[in-house]
Homo-oligomer: A and B are copies of this chain.
């Protein structure tokens, strides 16, 4: 019995032994400035000196700021208190404040608007902090930067002396949440808004209707949510509270009501809107369904006019998203009345019929003073110029839209459910590289959005799907185009991830809990080590493999592993260092570290296998579990050859490569993130040159 008793106690100890002194970015007092900001500001000048954070810290707000900034300052103080453990005054100082916040222009509206001035400057010296902004939204961003600057340094926390001039590169910096396929309670939305504000994202694109659920209360048409949501929807009161919560953080809320496709849930209560007679029931199956609004009846537009009018009143933002994606036209093709209408109006294809529909909707929205946003599919020659195209296919739609004079929003590269790495999303630029857009056309691209589609997320797992990768997207949208240092991004991302954890996001804590549950014990040892080498397969592969529906429990190993886990980039750094250590003698221990890592995989595998034999949930990953120690052994063998300088036997490289390629094939629900670097080691070992780092 005692052999299992000490595991929990010893679990955290490993690393303290292997790498005895290592802390990220906590420079000692007086040390050179270490930039931990995310997103990077447009310009930063470090200066000598620093301002200690102690109980005498105080703040004051000058100029034309309103309640929004006062409340944000109180929140700032509370967060700084939790960060530093120093009890601080919550009310502004009458005079001589340490931090003075100056806002030039009074807020024109309680709600942020596209294109308002978000710039700020921040000056910190040994005695005081000056935060200056044109608008209160700029000041909110400055407070987030200031909080990120606070760092421990010996006997107190401090703010390093800096001069920062900052403004965003793009005005539309969004995150799309799909609450249609899986409902997300308000507290999830709120904490997501906290995370967005921390990294200066400023648009919550709220995907509120889907085949699988109609998530917003309509008082005009109560059967929409009444029959279309299984009781899981936001009341108008809740919607208004979310909008207020977002506005307090400088974030706009743009709702999406997807039409004419993805509309099954509308038709459960109002089948007369459909292009086939029905009856309809809320879908639990994912994918593209045939249900579509009937664009040929005036009664459809009368309904939509009343509904969109109600929503236009509920959502104060100037923009409204009508979806428009993936309307397959099948119901239209099968409906003689619709076919007759198309012939009568010279509409040859379902795309032309949808374009007609879009034009009608655009007119309705214009009357409610809303600009229309839609996915790529709404782009057509006669689309009103005012309409905004959100790009999710290849960028040709974005480029074409800009050529036709439309504003565009880039999303194609930022689909979080595709499990792109933080490096991938960070390097993807909203301005399509190599396109021949004129500067004026490029300016039509307003920014971008990270998209969190809802097939495989729950309120528990969503944070680890969004964070910290969305912070890398946010930096792409905010920081200068020249900011493309992936290694430095990852260094800061690790720090930002901890800061987001402090804000209450669960991207670190929930996966830990999920692994504990799978292991059935507080110390998950081998399972956590295994998990560190894995990421979820992307949306479509999981769907294919598991035949997921809205009802599938999301409690598997795939739900407990991180997209782009830290080990992926860490291995990349280590392998680069190990294979180039003649160029960088400081990293000559990289091979040793790699060896330690691989050895653990081999050692831990029996414990993992023993766990998997007993646990049905782990038996979904039997192949991955059996491949894991072999991957470790390949790494160990490669290191042995690299160290010895002796070439491996003939066929070794081919054999290992074949195994790595086998492990790279889609199988089960998780993917290894270590294969590229293992292949590099194998290839290097297969070269005969003795390695200088041995």
Which residues of A line the B interface, CB within 8 A?
Answer: 1-26, 28, 81-87, 152-157, 187, 494-495, 497-498, 501-502, 506, 508-510, 512-513, 516-517, 519-529, 532, 551-553, 555-556, 566-567, 570, 573-574, 577, 586-587, 589-590, 593, 596-597, 600, 603-604, 606-608, 610-611, 613-617, 619
Q: Which residues of B contact A604 (CB under 8 A)?
A: 13, 16-17, 20
Closest Cβ neighbor of A532 among chain B residues: B9
Residues of chain B contacted by A24 (CB below 8 angstroms):
4, 520-521
- Determine whether the beta carbon of B10 is less than 8 Å from that of A596: yes
Interface centre among A2, A523, A528, A603 (most CB of B within 10 A): A2
C-alpha gap A16/B529 in the complex (Å): 9
Name A520's closest neighbour in chain B (CB-CB). B26
What separation, in Å, do the CA atoms of A22 and B528 have in the docked complex? 14
Residue in B83, B510, B556 whose CB lies within 8 Å of A85: B556
Known: A516-B508, A521-B24. A603 touches B16 (CB 8 A): yes
Docked complex Cα distance between A155 and B154 (Å): 54
Q: Do A587 and B10 touch (CB < 8 A)? A: no
Closest Cβ of chain B: how far from A121's Cβ, in Å? 27
Which chain B residues lie closer than 8 Å to A16 at the CB level? 525-526, 529, 600, 603-604, 607-608
| Given known A5-B574, A501-B516, A501-B517, contact A21–B610 (CB-CB < 8 A) | yes
* Known interface pairs A10-B600, A570-B9; A513-B508 also in contact (CB < 8 Å): yes
Q: Min CB distance, A12 to chain B, in Å? A: 3
Cβ contact within 8 Å between B519 and A23: yes
Query: Most B CB atoms within 10 A — which of A7, A528, A589?
Result: A7
Inter-chain contacts of A589 with B (CB < 8 A): 2-3
- CA separation between A517 and B509, bound complex, in Å? 12
Q: How far is the CB of A467 from chain B (nearest CB, A)?
A: 13
Query: Which residues in B have their C-beta under 8 angstroms from that of A22?
Result: 3-4, 7, 607
Minimum CB distance partner of A576 in chain B: B2
The 9 lowest CB-CB distance pairs between A and B, nearest first, are: A12-B528, A4-B22, A14-B14, A16-B604, A16-B526, A16-B525, A15-B525, A7-B15, A509-B509
A6 B26 Cβ-Cβ under 8 A: no
Docked pose: A82 CA to B7 CA in angstroms: 26
Interface centre among A11, A604, A611 (most CB of B within 10 A): A11
What residue of chain B has the Cβ atom nearest to residue A614's Cβ? B26
What are 7 residue pairs bridging A and B, where the CB atoms are less than 8 Å apart in the complex? A3-B589, A6-B593, A12-B14, A15-B523, A17-B603, A154-B614, A508-B513
Q: Which of B83, B525, B615 contacts A14 (CB 8 A)?
A: B525
Q: Name the one of B14, B187, B586 contacting A13, with C-beta atoms under 8 angstroms.
A: B14
Q: Tell me, rounded to whole Å, the shortest Cβ–Cβ distance linking A652 to chain B.
A: 26
Q: Does B610 lie within 8 Å of A525, measured CB to CB?
A: no
Contact A521 B501 (CB under 8 A): no
Chain B residues with CB below 8 A from A155, complex form: 616, 619
Contacts A15-B525, A16-B529, A616-B152 given; indicate if A3 touches B551 (C-beta within 8 A). no
Q: Find the B residue at minimum CB distance from A458.
A: B82
Q: For the complex, what is the distance from the CA of A586 to the CA of B18, rounded to whole Å?
A: 31
Set B506, B566, B608: member contacting A522, Cβ < 8 A: B566
Given contacts A5-B574, A154-B616, whether A21 and B607 have CB atoms under 8 Å apart is yes
Contact yes or no, A152 B4, CB < 8 A: no
| A11–B3 touching, CB < 8 Å | no
Contact (Cβ within 8 A) B14 A11: yes
Partner of A616, one of B15, B156, B556, B606: B156
Contact of A87 among B4, B14, B19, B553 (CB under 8 A): B553
* Cβ A616 vs Cβ B85 within 8 A: yes
19 additional contacts, CB 8 Å, given A85-B555, A85-B617?
A1-B586, A3-B589, A4-B23, A6-B15, A7-B19, A7-B22, A9-B529, A9-B566, A9-B570, A16-B525, A16-B529, A22-B607, A26-B614, A28-B614, A85-B556, A502-B517, A506-B509, A509-B512, A512-B512
**Looking at A152, A519, A524, A603, which has the most chain B CB atoms within 10 Å of its CB?**
A152
A588: shortest Cβ distance to chain B, in Å? 10
Question: In the bound complex, do residue A513 and residue B509 qualify as a contact, i.e. CB atoms below 8 Å apart?
Answer: yes
Task: Report the minimal beta-carbon distance from A363 to chain B, rounded to whole angstroms.
Answer: 43
Minimum distance in angstroms from A33 CB to a CB of chain B: 15
CA A23 – CA B17 in complex, angstroms? 25
Kindly provide the distance from the CB of A261 to the nearest chain B CB, expressed in whole angstroms: 27
> In this complex, what residue of B is CB-closest to A587?
B2
The answer to whether A522 touches B551 (Cβ under 8 A) is: no
Cα distance, A509 to B520, chains bound together (Å): 15
Closest chain-B Cβ to A341's Cβ sits at a distance in Å of: 42
Name which residue of chain B comes closest to A529, CB basis. Answer: B13
- When distances are taken between beta carbons in the complex, the residues of chain B under 8 Å from A553 are 81-82, 84-87
* Pairwise interchain contact A597-B552, C-beta atoms closer than 8 A: no
A607 cross-chain contacts in B, Cβ below 8 A: 16, 20-22
Query: What is the minimal beta-carbon distance from A509 to any residue of chain B, in angstroms?
Result: 4
User: What residue of chain B has the Cβ atom nearest to residue A533's Cβ?
Assistant: B9
Q: Is the CB of A18 within 8 A of B12?
A: no
B residues less than 8 Å from A510 (CB atoms): 509
A512: B residues at CB distance < 8 A: 509, 512
